Chains A and B, each alone.
Chain A
Amino acid sequence: MREEKEKLYYVQNIPVPETPRPTHTPSAWKETKIIGKRLPRVDAYERVSGSAIYPSDISLQDMLYGAILRCPHAHAKVLSIDTREAEKIPGVRVVITGNTPGAALDWPYLRGFKTKLFDPHCRHEGEEIAALAAETPYQAWDAIKAIKVKYEILPFVVDELKALDAGAPAIHQEGNLSGETQGYERGDVEKGFAEADVVLEESYRTESELHTPMELHGCVAKWDGDRLTVWESTQGVYAVQARIAEVLGLPLANVRIIGHYMGGGFGSKLQAGKYSIIAALLAKKTAQPVKLFLTREETFLCVGNRPPSNMKLKAGVKKDGTLTAFEFSCIGTGGAYPAGGTSLVDWQIRDLYKCPNVRTKMTDVFINAGPSRPCRAPGHPQGSWALEQMLDALAEAIKMDPVELRLKNISPYSQAREGNPPYTTTGLKECLEEGARAFGWEEGRRKTAETKKSGHIRRGVGMASCLWFAGGGGPPSTVIIKLFSDGSVNLNMGASDIGTGTKTVMAMVVSEELGVPMEKIQIEHADTGTTQYATPSGGSKTVPTESPAVRAAAVEVKRQLFELASKDLKVNVTDLILKDGEVISKQDPSKKIKIAEVPDLKRRGVLLGVGYRGPNPEGKVVNPFAAQFCEVEVNTKTGEVKILRFLSANDSGRVMNRLTYDNQVIGGITWGIGLAMTETRILDEKQTGKMVNRNWHDYKLPTALDVPMEVKSLPIELDDPQANTTGAKGLGEPVTIPTAAAIANAVYHATGIRVTMTPINPIKLCQLFSQRGKEG
């Protein structure tokens, strides 16, 4: 599946090594003692006590503070930079620009595209012009303000629908089309529409979202001679290492990245930033450690976004609910550089529902805005916004229940992939049926229909379903487990815990396999100097990737332990099991020994097991599925929408920890509420091209007042022994894909108004209500 590998955005632009296959594959767990329980996190104490040290908390002796001067214009050329006044500011140690020796570095984007680290052609607001380090951040910002830059201000375009117009300002010499227009086709779409009883066509749009994780993007950089250590707020230490080593031309061994804790990323911290390189340069020039964390405003301008999507969907359906054809197009933008502006937007349309005739076309254009980065389930919530609202409309047109229409169109195999490989499991049917039952779908439809007749407070229910194109994980991953002579364990893995509970789940795998209590497991992770290779934590693939490698390492330690114990107990190794910290003979349970008392283990002090992530099943696809249901209350006088309740039914394979599982579900729904109702990047299209709402006051995240009172998580736990040796599939992304569309469908059900463009806010709803009033 070469095509798929190319699409794995979380490893785009970084080298991915191959790890050896595991020597043997353990069979699926039948019963579990630890896995699946509701266990608090192994690092909860640190996180709630304040003792967890995040990269932004790092403070080193003699440390300086860095700051970056950024271009204030949407499109400009730097004519000259005068740093003389800045250098005189007390406390300032160094000022660097693109002309500083050692700073004329290339910065890579996708498809081999490169700019300079400090590029004189600034193609979006916030491009890096100069940087400096000072004794305090206050002095640093004084100095930034003292740098004088002469710009030639260029005409800009920030509306992606105008970027290809004749006469639009060219952002790159080759024009404003980012790469080739992507197309996909199967079957005969025209024939499909001809066969349909109902054909509907609609335009949809989702606005650009900003990741804005709570911890700012940045790092602390420190040199020891020619060896660099960087404490970075990142989803993947090895990805950061690769980029920094590449850009600075350093051996990998000389670049150590540490990222034990990190305050959120959502895709925007999958790789190093320009700030990582700049911090390293400033630290090198001053021979002092440098802390460089961006300001909140900078994180709105230059560290990624979910691209806006302008979509058109035409769909045909027969009266019996058979889908006959989809035709989909999308114009999107990854900003000023190649960054995947339409990446995966069509995937739901291509793969989710059974449909023989599908054509999609996606056009990615350049605009003068910050480049996008993968954002929680790239492309999927946008495509879902179009597809799931369309399904709702088709169901109404053929007078069929929306759940029933989806149930009629479940595919057991992936239609979008070459050769139509089957999914190892598809729990979509169960998600829909059990979800509808637990939510009270039919009753909800009936009840709300009755309240519709009068009054300005209208209730409605809506639903949507999804799949997530990744979420099966896969190699590479290497994990080391050390079993000490007293029976305690050290778990060593490279993966970052980005807040999803990775460390806790992996400790549970060790505990399950070795019978060691959780409190006797110490975890070392996310440090390229001391832990093993892992891909960045993203794509909802961390649990399905790492947990089988952890299990393999534990199984290997167990094998070695049994070898030692069998000599002592004088039984065959195949006769031994581990239970409650003891090695026991199955045939004669009186023959047993505590792990800590195995003589050979005592002598050796430690057993070391290496585990690798085995390959995914050949010719099959491992994908998570989900269906979500919600009820809303709309005030037709004020346009306010209250989300009363939500239910998420998720087929993500085995539930590893029910507590952190449910947490992902509620977090994903909160994100979906943001996309549907509150979040919009606003660019000043006419006057300046600058971003207007570059802070959390003007850019609205969902708050405690915006989430529903009631959220139910309903795991659909299907056995999936083929997926991997723990049977887990990804969760963090499927939980946010259908949310926005489910809300839009509920609002339609409540009001009869279909909101095809995000955000569903009071202003927009009131406009739509009054429009309907005029139209009668």
Chain B
Amino acid sequence: MSRLPTALWIGATLSGVFLIAALISLVWVPHAVDGVAIANRLQPPSPAHWLGTDQLGRDLLSMLMVGAQTSLAVAVIAVGIGVALGVPLGLAAAANRGGLLDEVIMRGNDLIFAFPSLVIAILITARYGPSASNAILAIGIFNIPVFARVARGAALPLWTLDYILAARTAGKGKIRISAEHILPNIMNLLIVQATIQFSLGILAEAALSYVGLGAQPPIPSWGRMLAEAQTMIYTHPMLAVLPGLAIVLMVLGLNLMGDGLRDLLDPRLRRGRA
């Protein structure tokens, strides 16, 4: 572990900055973000407002910090849903390869895959109304088949290995073998997939908020900041550039981190680099 990949460093630093901003915003922000102060609207950057204010006079830096919190929370929980349901399903499918359970799980996955998260979100919103938690649910449901497929694909070749046969001759059942032997050996792939899904989750949250299906006012969100800045893009471009930049940097950071982690965790690539 003496030399970490450069991509991992850059990615972790970028993501770390946003994570710290989000954590700080939990206890302190430069200015409250739920107050409207029309007198202060559309101010340029100043010592009081480092990045200026928006059309309602809210501090942009504070909005971005709380927005990071929204994005991260949505992405973390959505990835959590995907991992918690998708990985066990994938492991079960691999353990029963070619069986009825495998068929049912994988065809169910195909069904979910057929609906993009945006469509799922519109369906949920149409039924339950727009909110951050419904956005989480929509993105989370979309993550389930992703993790199920990765887990199944990585587990299948392991099931043919001799140490799995040895565990079976030691009388261990499918569930126990999946937990003791399979899961730890596919963990690196799952971690890498999680960082990728995390960045996709942030993009999806931004997209859902942009079309008004995500976090509702007054909760700040990068996607809605973009939507609200749209009409003023020629007069006050910073209003759109800043949340846009935040999304780009965050997603870039997570993707770089995913790439770096893959290089670090995959012994074959490690050997190739040495």
Question: Is B a genuine binding partner of A?
Answer: no
Spell out A's residues near B (CB within 8 Å): none
